[in-house]
Amino acid sequence: MRIDGKVVLVTGAAKGIGAGIAGRLVEAGARVALLDVDREALGAKHAELAGGDGAVLALPADLVDEEQTRAAVDVAAAHFGRLDAAVNNAGIAVYGTAEELTTEGWERQLAVNLRGAFFVSKFAVPHLRAAGGGAIVNIASVHAFASYAGALAYDVSKNGMLGLTRTMALDHGRDRIRVNAICPGYIQTPLLDKWLAGEADPEATMKEVLRWHPLGRIGTPRDIAEAVLFLISDAASWITGTTLVVDGGLLISGK
């Protein structure tokens, strides 16, 4: 599948799922703006993907900050002359029960995962409208459907992304802006590695996780990237306000 010439902004693009998405979109012919708060990792990813044709732009930005986000989105659109799609992938995971969570932790979780997606979408819409329409893809999680003990703030943030998806699809459909969400399951990323490192027996935990997946493996960033590519492409031109679960069958296993 090709999306030659489309301009796509990807947040959290320096590592993990975001890096996989950015790389796949470049392969498919897109011009991609990489946004991330980690300047060092962002620079490395830009160097890896840039081919000397100006098709990849790196923009350091903290999406919790409204003005930084506005500026990054505007610079991306100005640099490429248009904006055709935005992928809200940036996210963190703050664990704890209601009793254990600090106010700071709760607010940080919602700020990065939900406020950041709101800001990017808010500032992307005028550019998408000016381009004659486009697509927004929100990377949520299976946590939006299945609650997990000790993941209160994370679960709430991912539930919120589905609400953002549906309502924006209603609000901007007449602008020919499609808004959809993807809910990944367990994906091999630095975030997963960090979670496993906190387990008493990481190896045993991973074996248990693998047993939960009917397809017998956890996902890769490319698995999510292929779904993003489809939702951005013209092949999905009549799909909006929906959620695509990409989890290797995790949810149907009851986990």
All structural domains of the chain with their residue ranges: 7-253
Q: What pLDDT digit, counting tens, does each position of 13-38 carry?
A: 999 999 999 999 999 999 999 999 99
Kindly calculate the radius of gyration of the chain based on its CA atoms and give it in whole angstroms: 17
CB atoms within 10 A of CB 216: 9
Region 77-103: what's the mean pLDDT? 97
Confidence label for 145 from pLDDT (cuts 50, 70 and 90): very high
Give yes or no for a contact between 189 and 15, defined as CB atoms under 8 angstroms apart.
Answer: yes
Q: Is the pTM here over 0.85, yes or no?
A: yes
Compute the average pLDDT of residues 46-69: 94
Reply yes or no on whether 148 is catalytic: no
Instruction: Report phi then psi at 6, rounded to 5.
Output: -65, 140
Tokens of residue 152, six digits = 């209160």
Annotated active-site residue in 95, 148, 154, 186: 154
pLDDT of residue 254: 81
Q: What is the mean pLDDT of residues 32-47?
A: 97
pLDDT of residue 193: 86
Assigned fold of 7-253: Rossmann fold (3.40.50)
Look at residues 155, 136, 132, 165 and name the one whose alpha carbon lies nearest to residue 11. Answer: 136
Q: How confident is the model at residue 52 (pLDDT cuts 50, 70, 90)?
A: confident
Q: Distance between CA 74 and CA 124 in Å, rounded?
A: 8
